[in-house]
Amino acid sequence: MGVKENYELAKKQYEQWGVNVEEALEKLKNVPISIHCWQGDDIGGFEVNKSELSGGIDVTGDYPGKATNPEELRSDLEKALSLIPGKHRINLHAIYAETNGEVVERDELEPKHFENWVNWAKENGLGLDFNPTLFSHEKAADGLTLTHPNEEIRDFWIQHCIASRKIAEYFGKELGTPALTNIWIPDGYKDIPSDRLTPRKRLKESLDKIYAVETDEQYNLDAVESKVFGIGSESYVVGSHEFYLGYALKNNKLCLMDTGHYHPTETVSNKISSMLLFSDKLALHVSRPVRWDSDHVVILDDELKEIGIEIVRNDALDKVIIGLDFFDASINRVAAWTIGTRNMIKSLLNALLIPHDKLKQLQEEGNFTDRLALMEEFKTYPFGAIWDYYCEQMNVPVRESWLSDVKKYEEDILSKRANKAEGSLPVNMG
């Protein structure tokens, strides 16, 4: 049976529960996912004086063919985007500036250093988001930035964040869609601190200085991202969840929750409804922690499905800004983007096909037997047939057929790059 026939049969099953499948697909088309550029080059960036990756994060693997310049990175992103249904956004870090071989300090970055990205985004109908880069730099060598006891260093990073917000504002103006500027800092201590308060006071003061410079909300939205621990900040992270939750609520900023930045049994899906009661918008970095904040490629696991469900059943598709944050250098990087982003979209589609009103009603009535029975049965409804049809309608490969496109791209393009493995095609895809 073909994709369309399968779809028609599946649609009927959902319709029995009052689910409007066509409406669900229409909604899905309009949900942008902010795809992180840094999966394409292992968070390397294009700075002239490039520093080693730091900040307590790590990329493992040496799969050949990573992007080594902006043109390669954009070409790889275009390939991935051609395999992902819908219109999306690209999330940049400041280290992806293009400075024509000139050393430009991060506190002096300007919109002109991102002109090529903006032109490319216009050509491809994409929105852009932004992150100041407060790691991989000599001034962050001791793991401290906005909370540094040295005022000069702190001020350097404050100026970098201000410059970043102006760059994001330029993105928003040029592209007609507000850019999200997300601040994440690595600051913390390996061992038990003797004073938790002073660094947090300094972080608050630094953020106040950054946000004292106004940007237009029509073009730039500000977010702050917390973390529970990193490599080298195992005992204490200054920018904890409580810190940023408090800061964001008091100062009308967005809280960004990274799914890898909480205790192992703590889930972001369970936080969304609470946060939405107190903020108009929030942001996510959807990642996959395996034992730690390992940033594995996002899979369609229970937590990803639950995140989709929380966003959809709380009518929050336009309130939750969905970004991805993973970096796996052990597999083909274009495939990594494709797998992770398709999974994020699948999770939203799955959620859009569940009769939430019916299930909510059962809970209100105290009918927990039917609630559990139906929630379990809906898990095996023919969601895959709807997904396949959606891909076909959106002119992207159906099911795993995208993999051969990536293999061809690897043969034609990636394997010819300077950083290819000695003498042969990679074992995984050859």
Residue type, 151: E
Q: Report strand pairing: 292-296 vs 288-290.
A: antiparallel
Q: Which of 295, 303, 310, 405 is catalytic?
A: 295
- Helix (H/G/I), strand (E/B), else coil: 320: strand
Residue 346 interacts with, from ligand L2XQQQDX, Mn ion, none (CB under 5-8 Å by kind): none
Taking CA atoms, 331 is separated from 11, 321, 327, in Å, by 35, 27, 10
Distance CA 30, CA 122 (A): 18
Taking residues 125 to 164 in sequence order and writing x for each that binds ligand L2XQQQDX by CB under 6 A, - otherwise, the string is ------x---------------------------------
Side-chain-facing half-sphere of 417: CA atoms under 13 Å: 23
Tokens representing residue 358 in the block:
């019916």
Residue 303 interacts with, from Mn ion, ligand L2XQQQDX, none (CB under 5-8 Å by kind): none
Tell me the sheet residues that pair with 282. 320
> Is 58 a known active-site residue?
no
Distance CA 372, CA 370 (A): 5
Residue 391 interacts with, from ligand L2XQQQDX, Mn ion, none (CB under 5-8 Å by kind): none
Q: Which of 204, 241, 261, 296 is catalytic?
A: 261
C-beta of 113 vs 285, nearer to Mn ion = 285
The residue ranges of DSSP E strands in 52-189, in sequence order, are: 89-93, 127-131, 179-183, 188-189
Q: How many residues does the chain have?
A: 430
Q: Which of 117, 157, 184, 402 is catalytic?
A: 184
> Is 38 a known active-site residue?
no
Taking residues 61 to 100 in sequence order and writing x for each that binds ligand L2XQQQDX by CB under 6 A, - otherwise, the string is ----------------------------------------
285 binds ligand L2XQQQDX, rule: CB under 6 A = yes
Q: How far is the CB of 52 from ligand L2XQQQDX (least distance, A)?
A: 14
Q: Which of 174, 222, 310, 325 is catalytic?
A: 325
Residue from 10, 33, 35, 38 in contact with ligand L2XQQQDX (CB under 6 A): 38
Q: Which residues are annotated as a binding site for Mn(2+)?
A: 261, 293, 295
Distance CA 26, CA 30 (A): 7
> Is 325 a known active-site residue?
yes
Residue 254: CB partners within 8 Å, gap ≥ 6?
Answer: 180, 221, 222, 223, 224, 248, 279, 281, 282, 283, 321
- Helix (H/G/I), strand (E/B), else coil: 374: helix
C-beta of 287 vs 338, nearer to Mn ion = 287
> Is 184 a known active-site residue?
yes
C-beta of 11 vs 296, nearer to ligand L2XQQQDX = 296
Q: How far is the CB of 135 from ligand L2XQQQDX (least distance, A)?
A: 8
Binding to ligand L2XQQQDX (CB under 6 A) within 174-213 occurs at 184
Distance CA 298, CA 178 (A): 25
> Is 29 a known active-site residue?
no
Q: Which of 227, 241, 253, 296 is catalytic?
A: 227
Distance CA 185, CA 147 (A): 9
What is the contact surface with ligand L2XQQQDX in residues (CB under 6 A)? 38, 43, 57, 131, 184, 225, 227, 258, 285, 293, 325
Active site residues: 184, 225, 227, 258, 261, 285, 293, 295, 325
